[in-house]
Structures are given as C-alpha cells and as structure tokens.
Amino acid sequence: MQSTEALVSVGLNHYLVLSALLFTIGALGVLLRKNMIVILMSIELMLNAVNISFVAFATYLDNLDGKIMVLFVMTIAAAEAAVGLALAVNIFKNFREVNIRFFEHLRG
Amino acid sequence: MSELDILFYILSSMSVLFGALVVLTSSPIYSSLYLVMSMLSVAGIFMTLNAPFIAGIQIIVYAGAVLVLFVMVLMLFDLKRETKAFTKGRFSGFLKLVGAGLLCGFIAGAAYESVSLIMATSEEIPTNIAAAAETGFSPTTNSIKEISKLLFTKYLFAFEVLGLLLLVVPIGAVALSRVAGGTHAKH
C-alpha cells in the first residue's frame, strides 16, 4: 500500500519520465519525418522536454539557476526556428517542395 | 492523491498525446496546431511546478511567437500533394517501434539514476510536491525579482551574448531569404 502511494503521488521522478517521453517523441520526429517544417517542430518539442526537466530540478532543489537556463533555451529556440524557416523558404523557392531529401544538393 | 497530482496527470497525458500527434499527422498545418496544444499543456505543467513566470513566457514566446512564425511560413508554401508521414514497410516499422522504446527507456533510466545521485549528495529534498507545499517552497524561488537579480549579476555576460545573437539572427534570416537563388545562387 505504501509503495503504490509513493508511485501515484507526483514527485521529481514523474517530471523526469514525462520529459524523457516528450524528448523521445521529438527525436523520433526528427529521425523519421521527411517534411522539413515538421522536423523543426519536433526540435521545438525536444527543447520543451529539456525545459521541463530544468524547471523540475530548479523547483525540487530550490535553486533558481535552472529557471534562468530555461529563458536562455527559449531564446535559442526562437532564433533557431527563424533561421531554419528561412532555409526552408529557400528550399521551397528552388524545388517547390519542402522534403529534406533536397538537402543532399546543398552547396556553397 | 491530491488535486495537484490529478492536475499533473491530466496535463502530462495531454502534452504527450498532442506531442505524438505532431509527429504522426501527415498535414503540417495540423501538426502545428497540435504543437500549440502541447506547448500550452507544458505551460500548465510549469504552473504545477510553482513557476508562473516561466509558464507565462512559455505561452507568449512559444504559443504566441514561434508557432505563429511556423504557421505563416506554412501559408507561404502551397503544398499541393500530401505525402505520407512515414516511409512504409512492416519490418522497418517494427524496428522504429523497438528503437523508440529503447531510447525512451534509456533516457528515463538515466534520469532516474541521476535523481538518486543528487539525493545522495544534496541535503533534504522534498520528494513529494504535496509535502513540499506543506513545508512551503521557499518564497524567493517564486519571485520574478529574484530571477532578474540573478540574470543581471551572475548571468550578465550570457545575457549580453544572447542579445547579440538576437541581433544577428534576424539579419541572417533576412539575408538568407533575400538572395535570388538562395543557397543555390548561380555566380
């Protein structure tokens, strides 16, 4: 009875497992999808998973550094999305398609 | 089971469900809408972790700015034919499932081990959020004032570098999409 109670009531481990699940989903999206926009979205999903574990550790260890790190991660994510989407626009201009197999021809 | 636990289970199942739908749907516009839902659930999870400031930033920056950028770029493209989400094949599908399970197990196991390591080194951590609420999260972790103090003292250099990055990135994005032939310009 004691063990089920410990399993059900939410602790740090629950947040870490949730973060692992979301990260895996994002990684699979990056590895398996062919559409470049969806790949960028999956990267956002992975960054979010990392943010969850940052905030969980920050709260449970009573330390603010993790929350600062989340702000940095969000800024980097926004910057990365902007550059990635600019590249996607370029690919679309050239090939009328946003499939990553056209990245094979990138040069210069 | 307290109310916070129930809230956590609802929000986490929502975020995982919508996250899976992002990867599984073939139409990118639906994927982006599912991604908004997933981001909002993650913001709720930040609220259960007693971090309202981070939750607000999550909604404003991700659900507000980044996702609008995604949707606007999608509207630039006219993707006539919907391609399949995944390449087909029963054997490779099986391999994908096994690989996903292994990856998730490894990450969760590593996180679990790291928790016990931290527990060994650090003193007295509230293992349960209800117990933590009883003893009280320290009021300083709550306040935006404390976060900004840390941001402008200990992390000042990183903050300035980030400002420079935010200046460079839009210039780079505009330059990339303005070149006539893009990355394939003929000289």
Pick the CATH number of B1-82 from 1.10.1530.10, 2.60.120.10, 1.20.120.1200, 1.10.1740.10: 1.20.120.1200
- At residue A1, the pLDDT reads 43
Q: Write out pLDDT tens, residues A15-44.
A: 988 998 899 899 988 888 888 889 999 999
pLDDT of A98 over the 90 cut: no
Question: Which tokens sit at A106?
Answer: 């990138």
- At residue B83, the pLDDT reads 63
B74:A37 CB<8 A? yes
Q: Tell me, what CATH number does A76's domain have?
A: 1.10.287.3510
CA distances from B154 to A19, A64, A84 (A): 27, 11, 31
Interface of B with A in 7-26 (CB under 8 A): 8-9, 12, 15-16, 19-20, 22-23
- Nearest alpha carbon to residue A44 among B15, B56, B48: B15
Size of interface A-B (CB pairs under 8 A): 234
Its domain, for residue A36, covers 2-105
Q: Write out pLDDT tens, residues B119-128.
A: 666 555 555 5
Number of domains, chain A: 1
**B62 contacts in A (CB within 8 Å)?**
44, 48, 74, 77
Flag whether the ipTM exceeds 0.85. yes
